[in-house]
């Protein structure tokens, strides 16, 4: 275990002005707090935070970060408190430790919810201070290095979490070396057989190709030296996890890989990078499509380099990365490279925050923080972390980085949520294109917008960015809520009219406490969803109203009234197509608050009734439907409704018919021909053959109205091959 003076010495190697007293106090406090605690390996628990601090000293981080690493498990695993940390070490260190503390005391319903909520808290803390992320990644790295001592099932779970979340997060922060080590350590536990196989094959490949690799290094270095370029050339094998992923992705064997080894060329300046590229391309043939310039267009994690592949000495494919020493440092340490000791001091947290990678993370966290649940947050975060990128431009030249596979819809939401929500079309490179077109590097994208547009719910499954999914989900929820609120207002207006009292938002506001809702819209939406009955709202607004006005019990046998249940005196009014007090129904989509009976539907011309279902809205039944008997004892769920087709928009409505036909060739063709000639549309057909002579057929139709349906039924009855046709109203 690292001694107290060793920790101080490690920090003072790169920061002679380190606060030795602060480091000593943190060491002693954490050692006493952890006491005799042991890790699964049997080592003292205190060894773990010291190793985390050691990893961060390799990154040359400031005193506060090192102290936070030493203390990062004290609040979670000992009797220490955040208040105590704040008083002894200051609020800056206290905030870092708090951001790293897991939410053990919260009771979540699933492991995924716990993982999602812990990760949400971590990223929100990271958005406030990037050093939280650096400590967390170092913590995860040391845990992965010592994972062998955990139970097998726990090893796999932690390894999967590492490769799904923490390794991609390290990559997004530009910390490529850390990412690759995390992936390799996780790979050992998730796919042990594959790991062993690739390690064995890789060792054999190295032994067989050492001479070729050394030859390529010498030839490259000599070629550049002859042209006056001082360069360092190093060969480097791909990591086992990277090799396995490529084999899986391309369904190829190890022997079919052509880029197991790559070469890194480090030069003094950017100008030298392009000179080296020119020399290499004029010396060896370039492999088409394999050149990428990340210097002129850096990745979002600040990565900068030139990538190319050539057919080099011995006709071997050679991958090359060309960069400066500064670029190489950023490629290795990522956001931490901005903290490396310079000019006699360590960089501040603010200076580290200037990193493009960190700015990306903050924007991502701001978007994802609006997720409705921990699981949703975790899902969206994974979407943001996993994908490679494409770079597209707006017509004004704004550069937008998106995951590979992104569409113009993703592009619109990346520009602004309002742009995505109002998108109705797009132009890619000046030409009209579908909104689901996969974008390519360099595309110029123009979004065509409409003020009245609401994003379809189906878009959520078609986009690839977490920001787009979150925004579409919010817009869909808001749209559905508005629809329920609109329906709820109509229901309440009719209910208040029946009791002869006025309805107003002011009166509803005054009754919010009695209704246990916070806003008028909450009340309206609850009524529209069937979670609250209109009679309860009437009584809450007018407490002095004893009973809702009803028709007289005795002798109320006027037209339009019928007994809901035999023997009861309660009456209910049949809906009347001419009754202006009935709620108008135009026939709405399945994602709205009003829908038709699932078996048989209803068509204009039918006398209809609405049934409220909690959480589902209103279901419309023909008044002759036998299914209505199930609601006889629930009169508060019945609504007066009427058809409203005054806008003259042509819509089809669902209906179901049952036919009995003779079994002979051409029967089905005659039936479909009649329906087609009458402009009907067949949605579904179900056939049952009770015997060899007849077939029972159920046909779901979409028709304009009752007259249209009756015309189809009448024509079918005239066909000799059909013995019976009836409409089904379930």
Q: Which residues are catalytic?
A: 76-77
> Measuring CA to CA, which residue among 80, 57, 81, 67 is closest to residue 27?
67
| Tokens standing for residue 100 | 């790293």
Q: What is the CA radius of gyration of the chain?
A: 35
Residue 184 β-bridge partners:
none
Q: At residue 402, what are phi and psi to the nearest 5 degrees?
A: -135, 160
**Share of the chain residues as helix, strand and coil, in percent rounded to the nearest 5:** 50, 15, 35
Neighbours of 619 (CB within 10 A): 21
10 Å CB burial of residue 612 (0-12, 13-18, 19+) is buried
Residue 52 has, within 13 A of its CA and on its CB side, a CA count of 29
Q: Tell me the C-alpha distance between 328 and 372, whole Å.
A: 40
Helix axis angle for 20-34 and 63-71, nearest 10°, is 10
The DSSP secondary structure of 562-604, one letter per residue, reads EESSTT---EEEPP-TT-TTSEEE----TTSSEEE-TTT---B
> Measuring CA to CA, which residue among 323, 307, 304, 319 is closest to residue 231?
323
Q: Tell me the C-alpha distance between 100 and 58, whole Å.
A: 20
Residue 600 · residue 667 · CB < 8 Å: no
Q: Tell me the C-alpha distance between 85 and 94, whole Å.
A: 5
Give the DSSP H/E element, type plus range, for residue 445.
strand 445-449
The count of residues in the chain is: 730
First to last CA, the chain: 77
């Amino acid at each position: 275990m690292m001694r107290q003076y060793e920790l101080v010495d490690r920090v003072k190697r790169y920061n002679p002005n380190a606060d030795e007293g602060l480091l000593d106090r943190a060491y002693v406090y954490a050692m006493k707090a952890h006491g005799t605690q042991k890790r699964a390996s049997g080592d003292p628990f205190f060894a773990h935070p010291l190793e985390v601090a050691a990893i961060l000293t390799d990154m040359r981080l400031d005193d506060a970060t090192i102290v936070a690493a030493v203390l990062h498990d004290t609040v979670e695993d000992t009797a220490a408190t955040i208040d105590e940390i704040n008083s002894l070490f200051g609020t800056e260190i206290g905030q870092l430790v708090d951001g790293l503390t897991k939410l053990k005391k919260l009771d979540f319903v699933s492991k995924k919810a716990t993982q999602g909520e812990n990760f949400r808290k971590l990223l929100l803390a990271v958005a406030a201070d990037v050093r939280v992320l650096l400590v967390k990644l170092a913590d995860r790295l040391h845990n992965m290095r010592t994972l062998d001592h955990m139970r097998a099932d726990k090893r796999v779970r932690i390894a999967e979490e590492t490769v799904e979340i923490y390794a991609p997060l390290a990559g997004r922060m530009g910390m490529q070396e850390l990412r690759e080590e995390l992936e390799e350590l996780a790979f050992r536990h998730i796919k042990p057989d594959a790991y062993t196989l690739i390690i064995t094959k890789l060792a054999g490949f190295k032994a067989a190709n050492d001479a070729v690799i050394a030859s390529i290094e010498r030839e490259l270095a000599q070629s550049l030296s002859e042209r006056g370029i001082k360069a360092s050339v190093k060969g480097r094998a791909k990591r086992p996890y990277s090799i396995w992923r490529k084999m899986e992705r391309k369904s190829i064997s190890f022997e079919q890989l052509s880029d197991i080894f790559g070469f890194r060329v480090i030069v003094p300046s950017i100008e030298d990078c392009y000179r080296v590229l020119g020399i290499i391309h004029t010396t060896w043939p370039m492999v088409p499509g394999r050149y990428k310039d990340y210097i002129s267009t850096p990745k979002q994690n600040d990565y900068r380099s030139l990538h190319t592949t050539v057919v080099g000495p011995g006709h071997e494919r050679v991958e090359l990365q060309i960069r400066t020493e500064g670029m190489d440092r950023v490629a290795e340490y990522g956001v931490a490279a901005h903290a490396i000791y310079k000019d006699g001091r360590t960089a501040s947290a603010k200076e580290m925050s200037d990193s493009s990678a960190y700015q990306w993370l903050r924007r991502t966290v701001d978007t994802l923080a609006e997720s409705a649940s921990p699981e949703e947050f975790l899902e969206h975060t994974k979407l943001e972390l996993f994908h490679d990128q494409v770079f597209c431009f707006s017509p004004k030249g704004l550069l937008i980085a998106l995951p590979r596979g992104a569409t113009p819809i993703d592009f619109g939401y990346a520009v602004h949520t309002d742009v995505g929500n109002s998108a109705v079309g797009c132009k890619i490179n000046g030409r009209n294109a579908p909104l689901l077109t996969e974008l390519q590097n360099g595309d110029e994208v123009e979004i065509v917008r409409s003020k009245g547009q609401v994003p379809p719910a189906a878009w959520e499954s078609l986009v690839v960015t977490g920001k787009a999914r979150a925004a579409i989900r919010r817009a869909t929820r808001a749209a559905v809520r508005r629809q329920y609120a609109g329906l709820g207002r109509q229901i309440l207006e009719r209910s208040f009219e029946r009791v002869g009292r006025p309805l107003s938002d002011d009166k509803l506001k005054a009754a919010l406490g009695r209704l246990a809702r916070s806003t008028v819209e909450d009340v309206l939406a609850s009524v529209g969803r069937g979670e609250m009955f209109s009679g309860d709202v009437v009584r809450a607004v007018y407490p002095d109203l004893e009973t809702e006005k009803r028709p007289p019990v005795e002798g109320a046998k006027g037209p339009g009234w019928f007994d809901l249940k035999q023997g009861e005196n309660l009456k209910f009014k049949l809906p009347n197509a001419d009754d202006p007090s009935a709620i108008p129904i135009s026939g709405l989509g399945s994602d709205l608050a009003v829908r038709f009976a699932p078996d048989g539907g209803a068509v204009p011309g039918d006398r209809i009734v609405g049934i409220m279902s909690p959480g589902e809205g209103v279901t419309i039944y023909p008044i002759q439907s036998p299914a209505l008997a199930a609601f006889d004892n629930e009169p508060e769920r019945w609504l007066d409704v009427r058809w409203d087709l005054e806008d003259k928009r042509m819509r089809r409505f669902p209906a179901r018919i049952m036919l009995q036909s003779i079994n002979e060739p051409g029967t089905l063709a005659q039936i479909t021909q009649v329906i087609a000639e009458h402009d009907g549309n067949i949605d579904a057909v179900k056939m049952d053959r009770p015997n060899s002579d007849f077939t029972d057929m159920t046909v779901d139709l979409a028709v304009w109205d009752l007259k249209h349906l009756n015309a189809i039924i009448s024509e079918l009855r005239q066909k000799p091959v059909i013995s019976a046709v009836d409409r089904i109203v379930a």
